[in-house]
Amino acid sequence: MIYDNIITNEAIWGELKTMVQHQKLPHALLFHGPDGSGKEAHAIELAALLNNCEETNQLAKIKKFQHPNINLIIPMPREKTITKKSTALDCLSEKSLEHLIEMKIKKMSEPYATIKFDKASSILINSIRDLQKNSHFSVDNGAVVNIIFEAEKLCSPKTEPGNALLKILEEPPKNTFFILIASNKDKLLDTILSRCCDFYFSKIENKKIKEYFAKQDEIQSLDLLINITNGSMKQIHSLIDSDISILELIEDAKNVIGTLMKNNDWQMHYKKAEQLFKTDKQTFTIFIKILIFVLNDLEKIKNNNFDCLILDDVKKTKILNYNKCIEIVENTYQKLYKNLNPSIGLASMFIKMKNILIKI
């Protein structure tokens, strides 16, 4: 195995190994399911299995993402002008090329690390042309494995890359496999879906996530991280590696609700939330989720249910409509991402929440 730190989907992995053993593996496979469920790492493991990963020299190449038989296709930003004859990598600046190498290195040691350019909206047709050019070369040992991350971006916003890949899938080169990774397979062309063997990766169980992190250094607020990310191992790792302070956001959320309950001046909290939305949407999203979790805990405590995510030391609260506050926060959040003016939207949210939370 490439990874000694992967949560293996035993059912899927067992089926894949059996297919390989009996030489019944389809040329096109689709690994789909929730973000952070291990799809990418299983694809890399399968590519290694098809290329004799037990051999020391082969294993070393795969672990460095330098094996000639294994190709990775990802969405890339157009940072430089390219033509039909250009390779996909020609579109990247030197800085982005270095970043790509760094992401690949990290991915090979951490199965849930991310290989992604934030500004990349689609898989370039040049990436598929590269596959077409390379498909003419024969392979002496192992198999050519083309792994396509975020495969739904083959068909969005344009379908040309997807149609180009479809032509290859209709007559796949000998001893060549395609593994498409998607979180939303419905965005793929039906004609592509019909040519792929479908493997659904369900969300990893919370118990297994906790067991995974128990082997590492103690992680603060792991239960909360699991809830914030909806159990995405990829997002949990991203948050752990980030500069975002979950504990500070918890205090901010508590202070917002406490201020509104006491009918104190909430302008400082409002301005902080507005600035956060404008400058750091990832942290803003986490703050909103934590705010909802705190309100949900208050609703539980009101109903004598003390199975709380954050307020586990609180035993009594006012009899207020916390669910209505949650509805207000959720509606505001959704509208903010539909071009609602943040100044007006967040001010309205605070006022509506205050009107509910100061009632006795």
* Same domain membership, residue 78 and residue 173: yes
Claim to verify: residue 132 and residue 275 sit in the same structural domain: no
Beta bridge partners of 179: 29, 147
Same domain, 259 and 113: no
- What confidence score (pLDDT) does residue 358 get? 87
Residues 192 and 293 both lie in one domain: no
- Rounded to 5 degrees, φ, ψ at 117 are -100, 125
The residue to which tokens 């024969």 are assigned: 138
| Residue 148 β-bridge partners | 73, 180
Range of the domain at 277: 246-357
Residue 85 lies inside a defined structural domain of this protein: yes
Instruction: Decide if 1 is inside a domain.
Output: no
Within 13 A of 90's CA, how many CA atoms are on the CB side?
A: 13
Cα-flanking dihedrals φ and ψ of residue 32, to 5°?
Answer: -135, 165
Predicted pLDDT at 220: 74
CB-based contact 92:100 (threshold 8 Å): yes
Q: Classify residue 5: in a domain, yes or no.
A: no
In this prediction, residue 54 carries a pLDDT of: 66
Same domain (yes/no): 172, 24:
yes
Q: Of 202, 233, 265, which closes a domain?
A: 202
225 lies in the same domain as 307:
no
The pLDDT of residue 219 is 73
Token digits of residue 149: 């991350």
- Statement to judge: residues 19 and 168 lie in one domain: yes
Q: What is the pLDDT of residue 291?
A: 98
The reply to whether 24 and 95 lie within a common domain is yes
Amino acid 327: pLDDT: 97
Q: What is the SS3 assignment for the chain?
A: CCCCCCCCCHHHHHHHHHHHHCCCCCCEEEEECCCCCCHHHHHHHHHHHCCCCCCHHHHHHHHCCCCCCEEEECCCCCCCCCCCCCCHHHHCCHHHHHHHHHHHHHHHHCCCCCCCCCCCCCCCHHHHHHHHHHCCCCCCCCCEEEEECCHHHHCCCCCHHHHHHHHHHHCCCCCEEEEEEECCHHHCCHHHHCCCEEEECCCCCHHHHHHHHHCCCCCCCHHHHHHHCCCCHHHHHHHHHCCCCHHHHHHHHHHHHHHHHCCCCCHHHHHHHHHHHHHCHHHHHHHHHHHHHHHHHHHHHHCCCCCCCCCCCCCCCCCCCHHHHHHHHHHHHHHHCCCCCHHHHHHHHHHHHHHHHCCC
Q: Phi then psi for 232, rounded to 5 degrees? A: -85, 115
How many angstroms separate the CA atoms of 33 and 199, rounded? Answer: 8
Name the domain count of the chain.
3
Structure tokens at 175: 């001893």
In a domain, 192, yes or no: yes
Each residue's pLDDT expressed in tens, for the chain with a length of 360 residues? 889 889 999 999 999 999 999 999 999 999 999 999 999 999 999 999 998 766 667 778 888 888 889 999 999 999 999 999 999 999 999 999 999 999 999 999 899 999 999 889 999 999 999 998 887 666 778 899 999 999 999 998 889 999 999 999 998 888 899 999 999 999 999 999 999 999 999 999 999 999 998 877 667 788 999 999 999 999 998 998 888 999 999 999 999 999 999 999 999 999 999 999 999 999 999 999 999 999 999 999 999 999 999 999 999 999 999 999 999 999 999 999 898 999 999 999 999 999 999 865
The answer to the question of residue 133 being in a domain is yes
105 and 154 share a domain? yes
Confidence (pLDDT) at 65: 81
Same domain, 267 and 227: no
Could you tell me if residue 312 is inside a domain?
A: yes
Token representation of residue 179: 């593994």
4 is a domain residue:
no
**pLDDT value for 142:** 85
**Same domain as 187, residue 43:** yes
Residue 183 resides in a domain: yes
Separation of alpha carbons 7 and 73, rounded Å: 24
| Same-domain check for residues 191 and 233 | no
CATH classification at residue 97: 3.40.50.300
Q: What is the pLDDT of residue 217?
A: 65
